[in-house]
Amino acid sequence: MHKLKVIVAVLGIFLSYLTPLYPSVAQQPAKPNIVYIIVDQWRAQATGYAGDKNVLTPNLDKLAARSINVKNAVSGMPVCTPHRASLLSGQYPLTTGVFMNDVMLDTAKTTLAKVYKKNGYTTGFIGKWHIDGHGRTSYIPENRRQGFEYWKALECTHNYNNSPYYAGNSPQQLFWEGYDAIAQATDASRFITDHAKKTNPFVLFVSMGPPHDPYQTAPEAYKKLYENKELQLNPNVPAEHREKVIKDLKGYYAHMTALDESIGKLWQTIRAAGIEKNTILVFTADHGDLLGAHGSWNKQQPYAESIKVPFLLHYPAAFGTTGKTSPILLNTPDIMPTLLGLSNIPIPASVEGVDFSRVLKGTQKDKVTHTLISCVQPFGQWHRGKGGREYRGLVTTQYTYVKDLQGPWLLFDNTKDPFQLNNLAGKAPYAETQKKLDNLLIASLKQRKDDFRPGMEYVRKWNYVVDETETVPYHKINYEGKPIVEQ
């Protein structure tokens, strides 16, 4: 026995000398937990830390001061379902086939939750799902949850004060108590507290419906904060829309302040559980909201208010707690590989996005100079009858360049013209810049095997059925065009 102890001791000393030479012998760091907070239709400019003097976001401002602020985060197809499908698959919309709302992401896809689950994580999803395509209030069975285990979710609702959901494998419809985002944050806090005590790491998605319209439905306490507030409007809001924009913005901001408080509580839960250092906390949105900019509302369009989203990345173990700003062009398909990279998990071959984890850590140079934006098929509020158009474009750290089916449409110098008031497309002094950007766009589309055809060709290719507004009628049929019964 004495000889065995001596051998073990000598072996331990030997391994300690080997560790610096052979890092694989060293103890691997604990896998990080992930709390991913995604809200609906929150444009990047609308936070205190981003410079909006109208909105009250004290918790997000504090979080930004201790996080990486990805200031050029882009929703490459700024609509709910396409964003969520790309987020979970790491693929572009023409690969997933999810380029419209209310269609289903293929359940055979390799998704973020499936990969984390395979690597020993507990997975959870709370809130708005919106990639099932079987009706917005229908029960979603386990085999269509893309790898998420803990489940308190609904396909989609914007009735935030009478908000249904399904829990686990029960088809019984339940309702969140009060304003759903607050109740969802409370449930997420319980999940975090419970799982912080367990051995396995976890990934939890908290998907909140506000500040998406209807704008006037936040709790009264938050609405009162803006009731008599004088708002400063951006110069790209036409004078004839000012009255409506002011009314809508007050409700929009009220939702945001309510969410800000809930996000602050989630952050506090992470700290109280003692897991902040090794938890990746993300705050972001699926897309923005025009809210009167350029005389338009909602999303789909290629303007900054629609395509740019907030993206805060808080991970003290990797980035410390000093606030930083990153200029990376983070697009929706890039989120999955970047999270996997930060978690030291191999990235599946099916992923089309870029892993920015080493760039964010400062161990690799950023070589991404542009990223794609697109609208394959305009629908709903922006269908062709209301001026909607298919487009493909790209965003750099300085420019936004967009083509429709007729040719060049928009060119903005976002550095000199942040509110995109001066369209430079077709103007002689910018001909060389436009040509360079056009060549980049053509090469990028070729790489993506995107031949930029009329939107209805893609609708027919994927066998989607649309109504007169070219929208999949989510209350009547599912993604295959078959009748459904709402539950």
Q: Please report where in the chains the tokens 């972001």 appear, as a residue.
A: 284
Same domain, 175 and 37: yes
- Identify whether 80 is a catalytic site residue: yes
Q: What is the DSSP string of 160-184?
A: TTS-EEEETT----EE-SSSHHHHH
Please report the pLDDT score of residue 475 as a whole number.
Answer: 59
Contact by Cβ (8 Å): 107, 472: no
Q: What is the DSSP string of 364-385?
A: S------EEEEESS--GGG-GG
Please report the pLDDT score of residue 473 as a whole number.
Answer: 84
Note down the domain range covering 428.
371-461
Contact by Cβ (8 Å): 284, 37: yes
Please report the pLDDT score of residue 79 as a whole number.
Answer: 97
Same domain, 26 and 39: no
Please report the pLDDT score of residue 414 as a whole number.
Answer: 98
- Identify whether 156 is a catalytic site residue: no
Same domain, 309 and 379: no
- Does residue 130 fall inside a structural domain? yes
Tens of pLDDT along the chain (487 residues) come to 444 444 444 444 443 444 333 333 334 457 999 999 999 999 999 999 999 999 999 999 999 999 999 999 999 999 999 999 999 999 999 999 999 999 999 999 999 999 999 999 999 999 999 999 999 999 999 999 999 999 999 999 999 999 999 999 999 999 999 999 999 999 999 999 999 999 999 999 999 999 999 999 999 999 999 999 999 999 999 999 999 999 999 999 999 999 999 999 999 999 999 999 999 999 999 999 999 999 999 999 999 999 999 999 999 999 999 999 999 999 999 999 999 999 999 999 999 999 999 999 999 999 999 999 999 999 998 998 889 999 999 999 999 999 999 999 999 999 999 999 999 999 999 999 999 999 999 999 999 999 999 999 999 999 999 999 999 987 543 334 344 433 2
Overall residue count recorded for the chain in this entry: 487
The dihedral sign for the CA sequence 42, 48, 52, 55: positive
Same domain, 434 and 457: yes
Of 80, 83, 156, 287, the catalytic one is 80
Of 2, 83, 130, 375, the catalytic one is 130
- Does residue 139 fall inside a structural domain? yes
Sheet architecture: strand order including 164-167: 174-175, 164-167, 150-154, 122-128, 202-211, 33-40, 279-285, 311-314, 68-70, 324-326
Please report the pLDDT score of residue 341 as a whole number.
Answer: 98
Same domain, 348 and 451: no
**Bond into 454 cis (ω within 30):** no
Structure tokens that stand for 326 in this block: 């990153």
CATH number of the domain at 385, please. Answer: 3.30.1120.10
Rounded to an integer, what distance in angstroms lies between the CA atom of residue 2 and that of residue 7?
A: 9
- Does residue 473 fall inside a structural domain? no
Number of domains in the chain: 3
Same domain, 244 and 385: no
Please report the pLDDT score of residue 17 as a whole number.
Answer: 41
